[in-house]
Structures are given as structure tokens and as C-alpha cells.
Amino acid sequence: MTGVDVRALVERRVREPDAIAKAASGRRRRDLVGASGRLMIIAVDHPARGVVRIGDRPFAMADRADLLERVLVALSRPGVDGVLATPDIVEDLLLLGALDDKVVVGSMNRGGIAGSVFEIDDRFTGYDVPAIERSGLDGGKMLVRIDPGDPATAGTLEACARGVTELAARRLMAMVEPFLMCRRDGALATDLSTEAMTRAVAVASALGATSAYTWLKVPVVDDMARVMAASTLPALILGGDVAADQDVAYARWAEALRLPTVRGLVVGRALLYPNDDDVAGAVDTAVGLMG
């Protein structure tokens, strides 16, 4: 792991808070996609929604220095295009000088804290569109969880549609992550059936006044060809939690990457906390799937 000097990082936050804005304005930017038209993004916005568990380790992602070290390793690997994160993590990475020539996507709605009674009311508590533009980021990501039995879904849909429209007006990527939700024993659960994901993709594709700058972020489920046939928008495959057999997960990602609308991966926990703890090896394997 690349060491992170937490004391020095905090000292800069205490004595030079303006250093964050200076680092953002001075960051070397790149085109969103290169000649391949594909993207490999490291996702690290889970803690803001209270998701810090990795497998049987309930607080694995709660150690910020360890998390940053893992992200630095991932970003240093060939073929990794950038990062998806909340403001606190983006700003740590800016202060660490890790985001030059990288795509940076800001995570927007993190208010639906995992396991809370208000979880479906997923308010925008992270980046908003003006902040994304002001910070020189390349886009914003929205989680769109659709619970047909919860009236709070309507507010989330409306807010995300507005975010898509406002990002497009600035020619910035809107990364939309849709799920159809259901209640199981009183708890909110994700419906990962082919039918549910097909409906979710269809709804997400139509959010906002234009889809010109919208990319989808979708999980691998059964019959991905049928799911992805519901839209012509470019899509990135999300990784989810660490799998018991990661080789099986890699094979499913590779199969999905052969579909015409799937243009890359946006993976966090599965690459940052692999079972063998070899972050570089896991990232290199995922990059190799891109073809």
C-alpha cells in the first residue's frame, strides 16, 4: 500500500482549507473517454451512505487512511480512468495530488442512509450540480431507487431528473444508477431479477430533459442482454460487494462487456478489498476484461 500521512493531511485541512479549491482549479483534466470509448472507474462513495461493511468485516471501509491507500493503489494502475466519490474523499485525493489526468465523478444523493426508516428518501446531501461545475469535476452520479410502495420515491425521481437536466446543460456526465426496490420482512431490498432491472433501466433512461450526457450504472443480473436492450444509453457495469468466488464475478463482467451498450466498469469494494488483499492484482484483472 502507498502510505497516507493522516497527520499531514489533517494539518493542511486545518491551516490551508483554501488548498482544496486551489488543487481543484489546478487539476489537469482529460477527455471523458479516450480512443477506446471505454471507462474504468473506481467507486468509493459507499461510506457516506453508512455502507462500511466488506464481507464479514463490519467496519472495513471505516478506516479512512486505509481506504485512501487502497484508492491510491487502484488509481496508479494502468488503464484506470478515474474515481467516483463524495466531496470528502475527492478532496482528500486532491490534496494528495492523485487526480491529475483522471476522470472525477462526484456522488450526489447519499441521504438514504442504509437501514434507516427514511432510506428511500434519497436526498442530495453530497455534491450538487453547481459544486460539480465549480470543482472542475467531469460529472455527477445519482442513485435512483424505485419503491412502488413508497411515496418518497417520487421526490427522488424528480430530484434526479433535475440533476440530469442541469448536468447536461453544462455538458457534464450524469451517471444514473437505477434499482427497483421491494420490502422483505419490513426491510428495503433490491430486486435483482431480470424483469426488475429491465424496468429500472427503462425508467432511468428517460430521466431529465435530455439524455445526451446520461450514462447508466447497472449490476450484472441474469439475461443481461435483455436488460440492456431496454436502452441505447452507454452503460457501466457496477461491481457490488466482494464475491465469494471473484473469478465467477469477473467472468460475468466480461460477458456483459461484450454487449453493445456496455462501455466499461465502475467498481469499488470488489477491487479495493479483494479476498487476497491484492488491490493491484484485482484492478489489473478488471482492466484486462475491458479488451
Amino acid symbol at 212: A
Q: Which pLDDT belongs to residue 56?
A: 86
Write the pLDDT tens digit of every residue in 141-169. Answer: 999 999 999 999 999 999 999 999 999 99
Q: Above 80 in pLDDT, residue 2?
A: no
Q: Above 80 in pLDDT, residue 250?
A: yes
Q: How many residues does the chain have?
A: 291
Q: Are 198 and 169 in contact, with CB atoms under 8 Å apart?
A: no
Q: Which pLDDT belongs to residue 186?
A: 78
Burial 130-154 (b: 16+ CB within 10 A, else e): eebbebbbbbbbbbbbbbeebebbe
Cα–Cα dist 261/257, whole Å: 8
Q: Are 140 and 162 in contact, with CB atoms under 8 Å apart?
A: no
Q: Which pLDDT belongs to residue 14?
A: 98
Instruction: Tell me the C-alpha to C-alpha distance, in Å, between residue 250 and each of 177, 256, 265, 285.
Output: 20, 10, 11, 8
Write the pLDDT tens digit of every residue in 11-43. Answer: 999 999 999 999 999 999 999 999 999 999 999
**Cα angle at 154 between 151 and 158, to 5 degrees?**
160
Q: Above 90 in pLDDT, residue 229?
A: yes
> Which CATH class for the 6-288 domain?
alpha beta
Cα–Cα dist 44/90, whole Å: 9
Q: Which pLDDT belongs to residue 241?
A: 87
Query: DSSP characters for 44-91?
Result: E--GGGT---BTTBTTGGG-HHHHHHHHHHHHHSTT--EEEE-HHHHH
Kindly state the average pLDDT of the residues 202-213.
Answer: 98
Antiparallel, parallel or unpaired: β 39-44 and 82-85: parallel
Q: Above 60 in pLDDT, residue 227?
A: yes
Delimit the domains of the chain by residue range. Answer: 6-288
Kindly state the average pLDDT of the residues 52-56.
Answer: 91
Cα–Cα dist 24/248, whole Å: 39
Q: Above 90 in pLDDT, residue 55?
A: no
User: Per mean pLDDT, which range of 12-21, 51-60, 156-165, 212-221 is the poorest?
Assistant: 51-60
Kindly state the average pLDDT of the residues 43-52.
Answer: 96
Kindly state the average pLDDT of the residues 182-200.
Answer: 93
Angle, in degrees to the nearest 10, between helices 87-95 and 6-15: 100
Q: What is the share, in percent, of the chain residues with pLDDT greater than 90?
A: 93
Q: Which pLDDT belongs to residue 32?
A: 97
Q: Which pLDDT belongs to residue 33?
A: 96
Write the pLDDT tens digit of every residue in 66-90. Answer: 999 999 999 999 999 999 999 999 9
User: Per mean pLDDT, which range of 1-5, 102-106, 230-234, 276-280 is the poorest?
Assistant: 1-5
The three-state DSSP-derived secondary structure of 186-244 is CEEEEECCHHHHHHHHHHHHCCCCCCCCEEEEECCCCCHHHHHCCCCCCEEEECCCCCC
Q: Are 69 and 109 in contact, with CB atoms under 8 Å apart?
A: no
pTM of the predicted model as reported, rounded to 2 decimal places: 0.96
Q: Which pLDDT belongs to residue 291?
A: 82
Write the pLDDT tens digit of every residue in 104-125. Answer: 999 999 999 999 999 999 999 9
Q: Are 207 and 144 in contact, with CB atoms under 8 Å apart?
A: yes
